């Protein structure tokens, strides 16, 4: 039987319809702007992503907060009481404490429900990279994959989930401590566009600087060409910080380089990740030989 529920958090940035289709339980992180707090639901019911990015462009600063222990414990326990097991796939512990809260709740609940399976997987991924990993997991569950086998598959494959992205303004990453003040200052002064990725520890790492927006977008696909593994039948996700035209341009480059991929999904990066990456961010996610 595959009588278990896949949980994740809203940093997956998945479209709501995918979460609905696979009955994925998504716990929302929170963010605050001008002393008003919002839940980061996938469907943007409290604040739409487009409105969020407009506020950021106006100079508003967003402060984010993780899902807490009690929220995880309550959500997991509701499923356990229904006689179902729990598989949580969380945002990288390298950038958020959300996974640690979930893992603690899972450990404590295991003492109360010793006959149930309660697994927490640190995806070491973020945004639609995490979302793509969850998407693969949901498809495997739908195909009949057992919870133990799926947990093992996630652990074996999560470091093959490649993240390449570029941002318009490094100061957003600097404010969140994701890049150094020196890196942000140099990038801004020289008007270069940084290219970054997420490493095996789930940390954001600046990799190179290129001159011009188009070159930075092309570099994302260039890196995909170097490491993409078995592109036939792959799903590729592209996230954007309210710049859909640039995301569609990257999609066209991906399809030109890899015409046999199964699908290329383009979707907005939500407010929690967007608070740190900023408007204009473009991110490319795919399975590769290594990160």
Cβ neighbours of residue 113 under 8 Å, at least 6 residues apart?
80
Q: Return the structure tokens found at 265.
A: 């999904």
Question: Whats the size of the chain, residue-wise?
Answer: 291
Residue ranges and CATH numbers for the domains of the chain are 4-158 (3.40.50.10170), 160-287 (3.30.1180.10)
Mean pLDDT value across the chain: 94
Residue 177 neighbours by CB distance under 10 Å: 11
Name which of 243, 287, 230, 289 is nearest 269 in CA terms: 243
> 169: pLDDT confidence band, cut at 50, 70 and 90?
confident
Which residue from 66, 64, 9, 68 is spatially nearest to 31, judged by alpha carbons? 64
Report pLDDT for 260: 95
Spatial contact of 228 and 286, defined as CB atoms under 8 Å apart? yes
Encoding tokens for residue 43?
Answer: 């469907």
CA-closest candidate to residue 15, choices 95, 125, 132:
132
Q: What is the pTM of this model?
A: 0.94
| Mean pLDDT for the stretch of residues 226-246 | 96
Query: Residue holding tokens 């569609």?
Result: 248
DSSP-based three-state secondary structure for 185: helix
CB contact set of 65 (below 8 Å; sequence gap of 6+): 29, 30, 31, 32
Pairing of strands 25-27, 4-9: parallel
Predicted pLDDT of residue 177: 61
Residue 171 in contact with residue 197, Cβ under 8 Å? no
Q: Quick one: average pLDDT of 153-161? A: 98
Given a cut of 70, is residue 88 above it in pLDDT?
yes
Q: Calculate the alpha carbon distances from 114 to 27, 106, 108 in Å.
A: 24, 11, 10
> Residue 186: what pLDDT?
61
Distance of CA 254 to the CA centre of its chain: 19
Query: Cα–Cα distance between 291 and 270 in angstroms, integer?
Result: 23
Predicted pLDDT at 192:
80
Pick 176 or 82 by higher pLDDT: 82
CA-only gyration radius of the chain, Å: 19
> What's the pLDDT at 137?
98
DSSP 127: H
Please tell me the predicted confidence (pLDDT) of residue 212: 86
Q: How far apart, in whole angstroms, are the C-alpha atoms of residue 163 and residue 238?
A: 10
Per the listing, tokens 């600063």 go with 61
| pLDDT, mean of residues 77-101 | 97
Q: Is 226 left (phi over 0), alpha (psi -120 to 50) or beta?
A: alpha
189 CB contacts (<8 Å, ≥6 apart)? none
What are the Cα distances from residue 129, in Å, to 12, 111, 118, 123, 286?
Answer: 7, 32, 23, 9, 8
Q: Give the mean model confidence (pLDDT) for residues 235-260.
A: 98
What whole-number distance in Å separates Cα of residue 228 and Cα of residue 241? 24
Under the banding of pLDDT at 50, 70 and 90, the label for residue 1 is: low
């Amino acid at each position: 039987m595959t009588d278990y529920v896949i949980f994740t958090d809203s940093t997956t940035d998945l479209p709501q319809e995918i979460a609905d289709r696979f009955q994925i339980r998504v716990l929302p992180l929170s963010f605050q702007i001008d002393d008003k707090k919002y839940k980061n639901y996938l469907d943007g019911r409290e604040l739409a992503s487009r409105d969020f990015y407009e506020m950021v462009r106006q100079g508003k600063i967003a402060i984010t907060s993780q899902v807490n222990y009690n929220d995880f414990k309550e959500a997991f326990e509701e499923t356990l009481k229904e006689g179902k097991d729990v598989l949580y796939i969380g945002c990288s512990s390298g950038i958020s404490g959300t996974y640690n809260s979930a893992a603690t709740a899972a450990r404590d609940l295991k003492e109360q429900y010793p006959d149930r399976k309660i697994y927490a997987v640190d995806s070491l991924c973020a945004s639609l990279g995490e979302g793509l990993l969850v998407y693969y997991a949901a498809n495997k569950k739908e195909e009949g994959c057992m919870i133990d086998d799926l947990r093992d598959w996630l652990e074996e494959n999560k470091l093959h989930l490649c993240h390449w992205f570029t941002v318009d303004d490094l100061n957003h990453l600097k404010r969140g401590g994701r890049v150094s003040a020196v890196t942000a200052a140099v990038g801004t002064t020289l008007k270069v566009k940084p290219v970054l990725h997420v490493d095996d520890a789930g940390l954001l790492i600046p990799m190179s600087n290129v001159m011009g927006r188009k070159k930075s977008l092309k570099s994302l696909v260039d890196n995909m060409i170097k490491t993409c593994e078995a592109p036939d039948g792959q799903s590729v996700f592209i996230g954007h910080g309210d710049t859909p035209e640039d995301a569609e341009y990257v999609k066209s480059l991906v399809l030109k380089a890899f015409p046999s991929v199964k699908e290329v999904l383009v979707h907005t990066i939500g407010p929690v990740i967007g608070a740190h990456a900023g408007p204009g961010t473009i991110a490319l996610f795919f399975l590769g030989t290594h990160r």
